């Protein structure tokens, strides 16, 4: 008979270090032992790497160089997803807000998923792989990091799940992140101010990504929204497709294929057309006395329709020169995470630079 686990509590920096022995994730039906991982060597081409090897059976591996639950810092667990025990085979199904429980011999600790990241790894330059390594390094704040490979057929990426102590809630707020952005300089065009420049470049990448996704999934409704730190993709498409499309879109923009940054469904087009049509109707009505306005209704409709036809090029022009910036500069994709949604899947493509 299996003994009942100790009461669950959130991690505390004052707790005595105690290695994890069990991992429980109810939403994906995972309950597995945790054992210390060991170092091994791996050869890739002519290069030899020292890396952590996940356990061979159905178990997650705890990195002894990482923090223990309740100790404060980064608790790192690794595992296979398509070989051996496949302990992390369903890790990609996790969504932000779902709970993870880690037990030690003395306590049980509750975490809540903050984000899911899929990062390119195989065949990447050393600087990219070094950056990926940063996810398992010590951190000043408490967190749980689960790491496996992805996708099942070729293991070219790293799938990383980050969870925070359940008491903490979630990511940094937008206001705190905006404080990291620079103030506008004297004489600078407002469009080149760092927050707006990043939004414009992310907006261009968002359009290019949706173009490519629409080619792969014709007829599927999709939408997007950009921020200084990345962009959202709304649509029932798998995460792997979003990752592939975003990476290809960035490469196309870097090659100078700037037409991908303009999208016919962009809100800029609707705003330009709607504002122009409304202004045309207002000016037409303003030319006649109030008592005769009903008589000129056909003229108002004609002026509105004529304006809608005439301003069709305005939306794409505004996209090209104001709301997007097709040159990606030093923009790079950090990762993609799935967000909680209802009937429509939501993915956030996180970027840096730009």
* pLDDT tens digits for range 193-207: 888 999 999 999 999
What are the Cα distances from residue 44, in Å, to 154, 192, 269?
A: 15, 42, 49
**How far from the centroid of its chain's Cα atoms is residue 153's Cα?**
22
Per the CB < 8 A criterion, the answer to whether 159 and 91 are in contact is: yes
Give the whole-angstrom CA distance, residue 128 versus residue 141.
23
Over 60: is that where the pLDDT of 255 sits?
Answer: yes
Share of the chain above pLDDT 70, in %: 85
Which residues make up the CATH 3.30.980.10 domain(s) of the chain?
Answer: 187-262+324-352
Does 8-165 carry CATH code 2.60.40.10? no
Could you count the other beta carbons within 10 Å of the beta carbon of residue 345? 17
User: What pLDDT does residue 172 have?
Assistant: 45
User: What pLDDT does residue 352 have?
Assistant: 83
The candidate with the shortest Cα–Cα distance to 205, out of 181, 238, 230, is 230
Which residues make up the CATH 2.40.260.10 domain(s) of the chain?
Answer: 8-165
Residue 325: pLDDT band with limits 50, 70, 90: very high
Over 70: is that where the pLDDT of 349 sits?
Answer: yes
Strand partners, 159: 118, 148
Q: What are phi and psi of 202, to 5 degrees?
A: -65, -35
- Mean pLDDT score of the chain, rounded to an integer? 83
Which stretch of 119-123, 157-161, 235-239 has the lowest confidence by average pLDDT? 119-123
CATH code of the region 187-262+324-352: 3.30.980.10
3-class secondary-structure state, position 25: strand
pLDDT, tens only, 10-69: 444 444 478 999 999 999 999 999 999 998 877 766 777 778 889 988 999 999 999 999
């Amino acid at each position: 008979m299996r003994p009942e686990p100790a009461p669950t509590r959130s991690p505390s920096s004052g707790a005595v270090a105690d290695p994890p022995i069990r991992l429980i994730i109810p939403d994906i039906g995972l309950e597995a032992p945790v054992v210390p991982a060991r170092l091994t060597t791996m050869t890739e081409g002519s290069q030899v790497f020292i890396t952590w090897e996940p356990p061979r059976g159905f178990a997650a591996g705890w990195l002894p160089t990482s923090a223990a639950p309740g100790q404060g810092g980064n608790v790192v667990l690794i595992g296979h997803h398509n070989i051996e025990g496949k302990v992390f085979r369903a890790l990609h199904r996790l969504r932000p807000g779902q709970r993870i429980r880690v037990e030690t011999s003395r306590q049980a600790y509750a975490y809540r998923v903050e984000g899911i990241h899929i990062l390119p790894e195989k065949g990447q330059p050393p600087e990219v792989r070094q950056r990926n390594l940063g996810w398992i390094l010590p951190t000043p704040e408490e967190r749980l990091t689960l790491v496996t490979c992805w996708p099942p057929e070729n293991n070219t990426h790293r799938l990383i799940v980050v969870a925070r102590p359940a008491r903490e809630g979630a990511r940094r707020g937008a206001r705190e992140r905006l404080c990291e952005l620079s103030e506008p300089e004297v004489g600078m065009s407002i469009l080149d101010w760092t927050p707006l420049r990043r939004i414009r470049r992310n907006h261009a990448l968002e359009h290019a990504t949706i173009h490519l996704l629409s080619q792969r999934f014709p007829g599927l409704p999709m939408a997007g929204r950009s921020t200084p730190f990345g962009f959202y993709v709304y649509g029932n498409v798998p995460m792997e497709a979003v990752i592939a499309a975003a990476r290809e879109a960035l490469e196309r923009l870097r090659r100078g294929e700037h037409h991908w940054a303009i999208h016919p469904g962009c809100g800029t087009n609707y705003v330009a057309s709607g504002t122009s049509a409304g202004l045309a109707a207002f000016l037409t009505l303003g030319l006649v006395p109030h008592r005769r306005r009903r008589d000129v209704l056909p003229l108002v409709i004609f002026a509105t329709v004529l304006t809608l036809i005439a301003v069709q090029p305005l939306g794409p022009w505004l996209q090209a020169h104001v709301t997007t910036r097709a040159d990606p500069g030093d923009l790079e994709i950090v990762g993609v995470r799935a967000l909680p949604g209802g009937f429509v899947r939501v993915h956030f493509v996180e970027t840096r630079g730009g």
